[in-house]
Amino acid sequence: MTGTADETQVGVIVELEVGAVAHGGHCVARGPDGRVVFVRHTLPGEIVRAEITDERPGYLRADAVEILREAPERVSPPCPYAGPDRCGGCDFQHVDPAAQRELKAAVVREQLARIGRLAPEEIDALRVTVSALPGGPLGWRSRLRYTVDAAGRAGLLKHRSHEVVPVESCAIATPAVRDAPVTGREWPDADAVEVVASSGGDRTVTALGGDRPARRIDGPDRVVEEAGGRTWRVDPAVFWQVHPAGADAFVGSAVRMLDPRPGERAWDLYGGAGTFAAALALAVGEQGAVTLVESDERAVFAASANLADLPQVKVVHSPVERMQVRGRPDVVVLDPPRAGAGTRVVRRLIESGPRAVAYVACDPAAFARDVATFRGAGWRLAEVDAYDAFPMTHHVECVGLLVPE
């Protein structure tokens, strides 16, 4: 695999011995010219023939198109759309589910070491494992956005591409999502179609984009969700965990770690519709106080309506970065978007002086970056729970407990 600066390696087939898993759904190998190659559709220890799909100055990307030596964890993908040059939504269809969780745990540990700068003994003390959620590796995704191609067909995108793969159904979607009237028909006036199947039994289908505003094709304006022993009514567009068991698992971990006490003050930052705030409110009681901060107007409306029976909860409509919240919290739930909270928010939070922070993270790299900021201010990562909330993909959810030294 050689060439001048004017010659591209894209499309070239190379033989590779595959090394460790890396964040992003691929494994790491070394090409014949010594460059790092990030290879999808493979497993550590395999020998593969791989097609180069992307070339950058310091590395290459590739798809394993032929397996010359299989790892024992390899299985036949249960979805016909999984594999090279097909749907890019699932990274690990070819991996035994238990081995998927081991790969994700390895990624979490590696990110905490490399980006979070935790020492090996700190990583070992955390004993990071990834727990399965109820329901199995297929049929769990309760929210799915299809992309519409130029012919009006609904499908799913290829990896790192805007190219649409028309599909009949998605194997990781819940039956209610799979049965929605989306595939098998044309969508001439839409760029995307979003399906939501709530835990309360509602289903909506919404056409997005094109020359017309978003329009509801099927279902109610509010869907019912069940979480934390409560019933929630929310706009389908409001963020909600896509795994039906996710909300209860993450709330349970955060509250257990924080151990909120009666009369304490709690902050719920990036609070969404309020699932964490509700659990915190029950723990601190009516003599305590919970402040939920959220920037999305529809989520703020949902939180205000669904938490109206909990007078100790105050909902603040504001970006967390610019929030005007007075007083010192005792405990904090920090549940930022995929990019993480960032240095500014973390430093502001540390200055507010809580005794503990439960950080809920859907991206281990962003989590590790923020952990490094906490550690630089004298805090430590005391505990991590990790969940396989997105089976068949590389994504993993972490809940970490951060405390001052």
Each residue's pLDDT tens digit, 391-405: 999 999 999 999 999
Inter-residue contact 341 to 315 (CB < 8 Å) = no
Q: Name the nearest CA neighbour of 312 among 327, 292, 331.
A: 292
Q: What pLDDT is attached to residue 4?
A: 47
Task: Indicate if 41 and 124 belong to the same structural domain.
Answer: no
Residue 88 within any structural domain of the chain? no
Residue 113 within any structural domain of the chain? yes
Residue 93 within any structural domain of the chain? no
Task: Indicate if 13 and 37 belong to the same structural domain.
Answer: yes
Report residues of the chain scoring pLDDT below 50.
2-5
The range of the structural domain enclosing residue 115 comes to 101-135+241-404
Number of domains in the chain: 3
Q: What pLDDT is attached to residue 240?
A: 98
b vs e for 166-204, b when ≥16 Cβ sit within 10 Å of the residue's Cβ? bbebbbbbbebbbebebbeeebeebebbbbbbbbeebbb
- What is the C-alpha separation between 86 and 89, in angstroms, rounded? 9
Q: H/E/C letters for each residue in 132-152?
A: ECCCCCCCCECEEEEEECCCC
Residue 236 within any structural domain of the chain? no
Q: What pLDDT is attached to residue 8?
A: 82
254 by Cβ neighbours in 10 Å (0-12 / 13-18 / 19+) ranks as buried
Q: What pLDDT is attached to residue 326?
A: 87
Task: Indicate if 116 and 170 belong to the same structural domain.
Answer: no
Q: What pLDDT is attached to residue 104?
A: 98
What's the CATH code of the domain at 338? 3.40.50.150
Among residues 87, 90, 362, 398, the one annotated as catalytic is 362
Q: What pLDDT is attached to residue 6?
A: 57
Task: Indicate if 162 and 211 belong to the same structural domain.
Answer: yes
Task: Indicate if 350 and 248 belong to the same structural domain.
Answer: yes
Q: What pLDDT is attached to residue 233?
A: 98
Residue 233 within any structural domain of the chain? no
Task: Indicate if 202 and 302 belong to the same structural domain.
Answer: no
Q: If you compute the radius of gyration of the chain from its CA atoms, what whole number of angstroms results?
A: 22
* pLDDT mean across residues, the chain: 96
* pLDDT, tens digit, 9 for 90 and up, residues 209-264: 977 889 999 999 999 999 999 999 999 999 999 999 999 999 999 999 999 999 99
Alpha-helical segments (H) within 259-387: 275-284, 297-306, 343-352, 364-376
Task: Indicate if 301 and 187 belong to the same structural domain.
Answer: no
Q: Assess whether 27 carries a catalytic annotation.
A: no
Local structure of residue 320 (DSSP, 8 states): G
In the chain the first and final C-alpha atoms are separated, in Å, by 51
What's the CATH code of the domain at 45? 2.40.50.140
Task: Indicate if 265 and 126 belong to the same structural domain.
Answer: yes
3-state secondary structure (DSSP) of residue 197: strand
Task: Indicate if 18 and 165 belong to the same structural domain.
Answer: no
Task: Indicate if 114 and 147 belong to the same structural domain.
Answer: no
